Structure 1
Amino acid sequence: MIAYSYDTSATGAGYVVINPVGATRASIVDLSTASWKSRYGSVSFNQMGPGMPTAGMNTAGLFISLMWNDAVQFPKAADSDIVNELELIQRVLDQAAMVEDAVRLVQNASVQAWSRIHYFIGDSTGRTAALLPTANGLVVRVDENMPIRALTNSSYDDLLEALSNYAGFGGTEPLPTRVETPNPNSLERFIFAASASRNNAPVDTRDGFAALEAVENPETRWQIVGEPGTGVIAFRLPGGDQQWRINTAEIDYSCMPTPLAQSLGNLPASDMEVRFQPLDRDQLTETLAEVLEGFSDTIGLPLELARPIANAQFNALVCSD
């Protein structure tokens, strides 16, 4: 069970996207020669359009998500086989089955980044990894080097060191409570997540959402609970109790000329079913413009790029014969 909260002050706009198996995908980075074929189908949550996920899970049970981290610095792209930091998530979903596969792909990637993000990965065996891009290479925390299977918006080493000052984790300081911290910072969210994950017994979707409630804050936009072992994804939006569920094993991952997606701003109100439809290019352009405007002070891309990005994303996926 993996519980993920996407928090941003910018916007909650975005899509749930079906990513096909057996398709060839190319990077939209200028002058990039990067392309790859998808071995696995996946369902992803995308704020920046198809092929550039925020989080997702594939048919092998591999889950990957991003979190902002101001300490991140991607090394300078070393060759022309370049992807951006979100396309890298898609490449992992398309080609990795286990944590070690994902780590290898991220380690070998040449990235041209718009934003400062690090990655959390989990697979169907229960293994997890925290991946921190730095100027000197990728810092990987996995297995015994990841004693707390959680990550927030700070580097894992810094979080672990700070956590060691608290009772139950090697220190004497009293643990903060949710009542005392209505808007928890990165460390406090890590403490809450660490407390929730100390018990390794199996949990259900309800427990996953309960853990997300402990770290919820005014910037929470999506709450996602993935079950890598069963292939079920449940998600909800803040401010309501309704959940939507996706059984990834029941999806047809055949390649389609137009990506299949569900807008997160137009979810069915009366049932749990997600109704995937061909993505409309004009609607995607409007969504991208909203997202670019919301992230103008961090990503800094002009709104005029919304249409070219949408066009490039539609052209980036080619169905194999």
Structure 2
Amino acid sequence: MTSRIKSVSAWIAAMALSLSPSTGIPCSAFYGESGSQSVMGKSYDWHMSHGYLIANKRNVEKSSLLVFPTDNRISWTSEYGSVTFNQYGHEFPLGGINEAGMAIEVLWLNSSEYPDDSHLQSLNELQWIQYHLDTSANVPEMIERARQVRISPVVAEVHYLACDANSDCAVFEYLNGELVIHSTTSLTPAMEAPSITNNTYARSMEYARNFVSFGGSRPIPTGSGSLDRFVRASYVAKSFANQKSIDSYFFDILDSVATGSFSKWNIVYELDEKVVHFVPRYTADRARVTIRLDDMNFDCSSSVQARRLASHDGWTAENQFSNMSTSKNRTMVNRALEGDIPGYLVNQVINYPNTTRCRN
């Protein structure tokens, strides 16, 4: 067993050095476990790297941002605090973890086709993440809630990976106008490898079955395309073992699926410990940030806290959390959205946090 672990670790390191930048929109997310340890990783690969790490409060009343005439508002109160990675606005995260130990990450999926069922209550593709972090303690709860709402997309075609501290995971995709879920629970079709890249889960697993460890005979692929990254990340995550620190092992996997200058954020969630580790790939020192949710104040009577993330094009990192503000949100949102969507909608996103209310 030890020699196999060493060979896997060496293979990861070799792959990290050999990969070249990819065209397209490459992201990777995956899950692994060993005993009681549940870990999820995400490589955020994109053309922008600015943003904020935000501590979102529990017991806050919210309603979905309505964009189109067919949108149907949903209102809720956050049951759980969360820490999220935000680039397109406060309350519209790209991913994060809540204090129950459930994490969600979003990835691009060109083949997404969303339902037009106007009778269902709707959320945009990023607020959908915050809604589930606010309201669900685990994947089974999230599956039930996801079936009761629909996504009304503003910009992106995406799918999601969610995993929890009970070792359950699920992929959520909208295909041919229908919500398709694969999970490790008994509620949906089975999920053999809890990973996603930028193809549908079904297509990714179809491809994976050509390779060793998935029923085939071909060696694990070394390419940087979506399907190869899916196989590689899933294979190495399955080999997760307690021979080195959990987070270091998963950062090695993230290095193995990196796509050159596209790769901006490496994120590792220790779900059972409710800890998130983050490394910016574009800074010289690649200094690691570790946030323990048990140390955060999620009482909504206190100010929302945020920590600015360094970017490859000028934003400097903050070493501690400070009060989030409309001004900070405006700077972040304008940097991400200005010119891409109408100005009135940009302003709605900027001012949305001011429409929420603490129930304390």
Same fold (TM over 0.5): yes
After the TM superposition, which segments of 4 or more aligned residues of structure 1 sit over 6 Å from their partners? none
State whether residues 121 and 148 of structure 2, in contact with CA within 8 Å, keep that contact through their aligned partners in structure 1: no
Counterpart of 2:166? 125
User: Is 1:316 paired with 2:358?
Assistant: no
Partner Cα distance (1:309, 1:194) in 2: 36
Partner Cα distance (1:156, 1:64) in 2: 16
User: Is 1:140 paired with 2:181?
Assistant: yes
Q: 1:258 to 1:27 in 2, by over 3 A?
A: farther
Counterpart of 1:216? 258
Counterpart of 2:271? 228
User: Is 1:193 paired with 2:243?
Assistant: no
Q: 2:97 aligns with which of 57, 61, 76?
A: 57
User: Is 1:116 paired with 2:157?
Assistant: yes
Q: 1:276 aligns with which of 306, 321, 327?
A: 321
User: What's the CA shift for 1:168?
Assistant: 3.2
Counterpart of 1:37? 77
Partner Cα distance (1:147, 1:201) in 2: 18
Counterpart of 2:41? 3
Q: 2:50 aligns with which of 7, 13, 17?
A: 13
Q: 1:227 to 1:318 in 2, by over 3 A?
A: same
Partner Cα distance (1:243, 1:12) in 2: 16
User: Is 1:206 paired with 2:273?
Assistant: no
The one-letter code sitting in structure 1 at the alignment partner of 2:246 is D
Counterpart of 1:271? none
Report how many aligned residue pairs link the two structures: 304
The one-letter code sitting in structure 2 at the alignment partner of 1:69 is L
User: What's the CA shift for 1:189?
Assistant: 1.0
Partner Cα distance (1:80, 1:109) in 2: 5
TM-score, with length taken from structure 1:
0.88
Deviations 1:2-59 (A, max 9, x none): 11111112x1111111110111112122464321001111111111111111111001
State whether residues 55 and 64 of structure 1, in contact with CA within 8 Å, keep that contact through their aligned partners in structure 2: yes
Q: Give the match's secondary structure for 1:119.
A: strand
Partner Cα distance (1:282, 1:157) in 2: 43
TM-score, with length taken from structure 2:
0.79
The one-letter code sitting in structure 2 at the alignment partner of 1:306 is V
Deviations 1:148-198 (A, max 9, x none): 121111100000001111233222333223xxx4xx111111121012122
Partner Cα distance (2:329, 2:148) in 1: 31
Q: Give the match's secondary structure for 1:162.
A: helix
Unaligned runs of 5+ in 1: 269-273
The one-letter code sitting in structure 1 at the alignment partner of 2:195 is A
Q: 1:112 to 1:128 in 2, by over 3 A?
A: same
Q: Give the match's secondary structure for 1:261.
A: strand
Q: 1:267 aligns with which of 303, 317, 321?
A: 317
Q: Give the match's secondary structure for 1:310.
A: helix
Partner Cα distance (2:353, 2:95) in 1: 19
Q: Give the match's secondary structure for 1:76.
A: coil
Q: Give the match's secondary structure for 2:147.
A: helix
Unaligned runs of 5+ in 2: 1-38, 311-315
